[in-house]
Each structure stands twice: as structure tokens, then as C-alpha cells.
Amino acid sequence: MKNIIYIFGLVCLLIASGCTKDFEEINTNPNAPNSVQPSLLLRQVIYDFGEQMSYEGFVAGDLLSQHRTALDFNLFDRHALKSPQLGGNPWPVFYVNLRDNEILLNQAQTLQTYAVYEGPALIMKAYMAAGLTDLFGDVPYSEAFNGVNGTVTPKYDKQQDIYLADGGILDNLNKGIAAINNYTDVLPLEGDILFNGNLDGWVKFANSLKIKALLRISGKIDVSTQLQAIYSSGNYMQSNSENAIFNFTNTDPNRFRLAKLRVGDFNNVVLSETMEDIMIPLNDTRITKFFRPFENSTNGEFNGLINGIDASNTSINLADYSLAGTIFREDTSTLDANFLTAWETYLNLAEAAQKGLITANARDLYETGVALAFEYWNTPLPSDYLSGPAAFDASGTTPVQQIVTQKWIANIINGYEGWVEYRRTGFPMLKPVAASLNNGLIPVRMPYPAEEQALNADNYNQAASNTNGNSINFPVWWDE
């Protein structure tokens, strides 16, 4: 049903945006709608972005973060990021949904009857903009989302401005919260598949996003006062019932996409040796949820493969490696499109506390975050897990390493989050890929797609020049 609504919404958008002013005056039917209902737009943006980025997370993000390894069609896994194959091109996912979200935001700010949508639209804009700029760095932003009413060759905004300027990520989160708090009408928020119309849920989502965004840029500016204020308020996600997620199903059309594709595509990705080497020493029972014992195992063991093999001269027996767990194909009803969660928020706060950015007990926040992450993945927390190798101050590790590693484990298929966190912190320690096409370097940004060079040449050329020729080894602003 959601896909039917999405297709209908797109048709309506094309009809509404493709007409000239005079044509509309002559041919408008006063008895038929000529714009998309905001409830359909909100549902469309949430579902399309969540579904597509979950797929991207499985087939591309998990390769960069080394949760999984690709057996074939694996130029991306070998870090030829300008050669996406089964995935690895999130640029249009962001821009299509940011433009649709902008239509929703304009409706909400223009028509009082749609005012309830302003806060959620501002928060979604901030959420998607953060994901976009964290991957690519400087990107078209301030001129990019107005369709036929704006420029078709938008300038590239600096990442620092996308985060900090008026109309940027943090500003829009603040404005989104204010719009919700100032909303006094009784018209409900419809089409909301994240919080079922609960505006308090959107405020907690926004505050949790602020915690994440502030932590991400904390190496560049002092964010301690802002972080402390949010933590002291307690108005952020604190239980899995408050997570910003929606559920996939076991039936079409809303099954996880990998459940719909041919088995060969699904079996093209297996457990990464990096993830095996992290989870097995931790005695982390979530591995049984994420992966299956390899077919040739004799005692239910798991076996991972080094990332980035040269498939042309490497013989691989699929039965010797662990495939993805049943939640990603046979039973996707317990799988979510994950925007942000309470467990990630607690782990972000734990890192902030450990670094002295807030006054709080980092160990307690860490242990709460880990417990919530096990609960989220429907896996009982072993009684000795937090006193063994995964302990906050376990021998041979640092608390920050433990915190970020736990975020990395639980964020499997959540877009490109594990890779972004690795770039920001250096944790967990990823392995060199087997047959690198990037001179043995782990990339630190996604490249601008080739379409930008063709369609937005002048602005692209400047952005490429600023990134050493659109290099995947040129760090983004918060990583400099």
C-alpha cells in the first residue's frame, strides 16, 4: 500500500510541477486537487528514504564499514567508489527526498491548515542533510531543493555552513522543535510512520539528532554547553519504544528489498573478517542474529572473509563463509528502517561524558546503551557481557573505543553510519582490503557522482578542485 501511495504521490508531483502559470489558469479543475496532500508527502519521504538507505546500507554501507564482504561485483568493496554496482550511489536518494520534503515544508509554512507538518519537515530536512554532508562534505544545499522555483545549477555549500548557518542542520532542528512547541491547533499529524502522529516523539527525535550532530562536530567547535543543556533536560530518546524507526514486513510490497531479489544477489555478501574478529572475542551473541553459521561448519561456527578480494583470481566456496541472517531475507518482519534510536543516543552521550563534554557517568550511559542495543536486536544480553571483554574499561581498550565499537556493531545496515563513525574516531580499527583499488587507503568521503559533472559543471568543478580532484581520500570539514 505504501508503494502505491508513493507512486501516486510522484505522479501528482510531476503533474503539479510540470505546468506553466497560464496553463494552470486555463486548465485547472476546481473540483480536483492540484497539489499533493502533506500526509502523502510525509509518508512518502519517510518510507522512500528509509527503504532505500536500508538497502544501500546492506549492499554498500556495510562494505565500507566492514560489517560484510562482497564476493563478486565488488569494485565498491575494493574502494573504487566511483564505480557503484549493486549499490553505492546514495546521492539521488538524498536529493529526491530532500526536494519532496521541501515541498512539504513550503506547504506547512504557507497554509495554516498544514502547520502541524512544519516541525517534522524541518527535522527531516536536518536529518537528511546531515547524512548527505557527512558522506560527501560540501554539497549543494541552500539553492538545491526548490525544483522549478529554484536554480537547476545550485552552488555547493561548505559543510561548516550546512551544520552551523541559519537554515542549516542545527538551526532547523531548533526551529523544528519550536514549531512543534508553538503548534496550538487540533489538526493531527497524518502520514507519520515514525511516531504515529506523536509530536512529543518528534521533539525527542530532534533532540537526539542534536546530540549526534553536536558530537560529530565536537572536534571543530565547543559544543559542551549545548550538549549539557539537552542531557540535563532529559527530553531525548530513552527507550526503544521511542526509536525513530518503521518496521518492514514479511509480505510484499513492504518486505526488506533483499528479500525480494534473486538469491544470487543476497548471497553475494557474507560476514566480513573484520566483524568476525570483533564480535567473536566479545562473545557477542548478536552474531547469531546478523549472520548464519557457515554451511561447512561442524559446530555452528561463523567464518568471515577479508574485504575487497580480487574476484577474478580468487576462488571462493560460498559454503565456507557465513551468510546474512534470516532477518534480512526469510523473516524481515523484525527488521527496521532505522533513522535513530535510544541505544545510539545513550552511546553518544556516553562518549560525550567520557570526553568531558557533559557532566554524567559515562559507564552508566554506556551500559544502558549496550543493553538497549541488545534489546533492539531481540537478543538477550548475556549476564557477563558487560564484565568481560565488552566491559567499559576492559584491558587493552579505551572507553571511547568500546563505546564507538558498540555503536558500530549495532548500526549494521544503518546506511553508512559505521564508516562515518570510523572516519570520525578511528574506531573500530578496520583492516586493509585484500585487493585495494585506492592504493591501500580506506576512503574518507564519498565522491560526487558523474552526473554532477555533466549537469552542474561549473559548481562541480569548483567543488572537485576543493577536494583534490573529487578525491575519496580528502577529509570532510569535521574530519580535518
- Over 433-477, what HEC string results? CCCCCCCCCCCCCCCCCHHHHHHCHHHHHHHHHHCCCCCCCCCCH
pLDDT at 253: 87
Residue-wise pLDDT tens digits, 53-92:
999 999 999 999 999 999 999 999 999 999 999 999 999 9
Side chain identity, residue 281 = P
pLDDT at 359: 98
DSSP lists the bridge partners of residue 272 as 305
Residue-wise pLDDT tens digits, 255-293:
999 998 889 999 999 999 999 999 999 999 999 999 999
**The C-alpha cell that represents 106 in the structure block:** 513550503
Side chain identity, residue 318 = L
Are the beta carbons of 275 and 68 closer than 8 angstroms?
yes
**The C-alpha cell that represents 146 in the structure block:** 526548490
Query: How sure is the predictor about 18, in pLDDT bands with cuts at 50, 70 and 90?
Result: very low
Query: How sure is the predictor about 16, in pLDDT bands with cuts at 50, 70 and 90?
Result: very low
Does 32 or 345 have the greater pLDDT score?
345
pLDDT at 17 over 60: no
Residue-wise pLDDT tens digits, 156-192:
999 999 999 999 999 999 999 999 999 999 999 999 9
Q: Give me the DSSP letters along 348-408.
A: HHHHHHHTTSS-S-HHHHHHHHHHHHHHHTT-PPPTTGGGTTTSTT-TTS-HHHHHHHHHH
CA distances from 292 to 53, 65, 282, 300 (A): 23, 19, 17, 8
Q: What is the pTM of this model?
A: 0.92
Residue-wise pLDDT tens digits, 183-220:
999 999 999 999 999 999 999 999 999 999 999 999 99
Residue-wise pLDDT tens digits, 204-262:
999 999 999 999 999 999 999 999 999 999 999 999 999 999 999 999 889 999 998 88
pLDDT at 149 over 70: no
